[in-house]
Amino acid sequence: MTAATPLPIQSPKPKVKPDMAVEVRIPTILRPHTGGERAVQADGATLSAVIDDLEKNHEGIKERLLENGQLRRFVNVYVNDEDVRFTGGLDTEISDGDTVVILPAVAGGAA
Amino acid sequence: MLTILREHVDAIIAHARRDHPDEACGVITGPVGSDRPERLVPMLNAAMSPTFYEFDSGDLLKLYREMDDNDEEPVVIYHSHTATEAYPSRTDVNLASEPGAHYVLVSTRDGAHESGEVEFRSYRIVDGEVTEEEVRIVDRYTDDSGDAAADPVPETEGEA
């Protein structure tokens, strides 16, 4: 029994702070905030943090997305193709390599 | 000025009549930078309302992904008013988010959903400013630059 090879001690993964880099797709109407870029990098562990990080590099974009701390009614945000309204809104968790897409609603009407 | 195919005008009017009294909506996409509406995509009005329209959010993502894949953009965004004139409402102006698009409005009011003429008008809506524009209806696109032979109209093919 003593011959049993000792289980190698799992060397803990190097504790590099994960930076959760994600690509954020920017719609035409918000590109003035990104110098015309269609997609930019941002990081954060939640959508809320990603938006804060976006604001650091692209001033004014946060206000276009949020109103009173909530996602604006006519801005759609998708994380990996899921509308965040169904995945926890601003608290939606973000993982490294996720794709965030921002699309303004196409809406209107006589009312 | 909006130059648009007659078949698209007819299809938009038919869509608006079909969905009356609810508002109908959709887009015509075209190659990026071409200003040429080529591919008509009627959309579901997720609001199903006589006074409001909104593309379903899942459909919207799918549409934009398709356009990205095809190097297209929304050249025309259309919807109907069913009890008022074909002019952008305050809501239309506040929510307009494609400054490069032609916003087409049609009206099926006053019985136009059954017979008679359906108003068909086009606007630019940029930074809250509405500018009506002329609509030129053509049977097919020709090259306005006069270089028609060198630039045949490409068929919209659904390369996937």
Q: Does residue B83 lie in a domain region?
A: yes
CB distance from A43 to chain B under 8 Å?
Answer: no
Q: Does residue B116 lie in a domain region?
A: yes
Q: Does residue B28 lie in a domain region?
A: yes
- pLDDT at B151 > cutoff 70: no
Class of the domain covering A21-104: alpha beta
What's the confidence (pLDDT) of residue A89?
Answer: 97
Cα–Cα distance between B51 and A111 in angstroms, integer?
5
Q: What is the ipTM of this complex?
A: 0.88
Mean pLDDT of A12-29: 75
Mean pLDDT of B105-123: 94
Q: Does residue B125 lie in a domain region?
A: yes
> How far off is chain B from A30, nearest CA to CA, in Å?
9
CB distance from B64 to chain A under 8 Å?
Answer: yes
User: Which among B22, B57, B77, B119 is the top mutation candidate for probing chain A, defined by the most A β-carbons within 10 Å of its own β-carbon?
Assistant: B57
- pLDDT at B159 > cutoff 60: no
- pLDDT at A84 > cutoff 50: yes
Interval B53-111: pLDDT, tens: 999 999 999 999 999 999 999 999 999 999 999 999 999 999 999 999 999 999 999 99
Return the domain boundaries, chain A: 21-104
Interval A42-73: pLDDT, tens: 999 999 999 999 999 999 999 999 999 999 99
CATH number for position B10: 3.40.140.10
- pLDDT at A87 > cutoff 50: yes
Is residue A13 very low, low, confident or very high in pLDDT (cuts 50, 70, 90)? Answer: low
Q: Does residue B68 lie in a domain region?
A: yes
- pLDDT at A18 > cutoff 60: no
Instruction: Fill in the amino acid letter for B68.
Output: D
Buried b (16+ CB within 10 A) or exposed e, B90-111: ebbbebbbbeebbbbbbbbbee
Q: Does residue B37 lie in a domain region?
A: yes
Mean pLDDT of B18-45: 98
Asked if A74's CB is within 8 angstroms of B95's CB, the reply is: yes
Q: Does residue B101 lie in a domain region?
A: yes
Count how many domains chain B has. 1
User: For residues A27 and B97, is the Cβ–Cβ distance under 8 A?
Assistant: yes
Q: Does residue B75 lie in a domain region?
A: yes
Q: Which helix (H) or strand (E) holds B11?
A: helix B6-19
CB distance from A16 to chain B under 8 Å?
Answer: no
| Cβ under 8 Å to B: A residues 71-110 | 74, 76, 78, 81, 83, 85, 101, 103-110
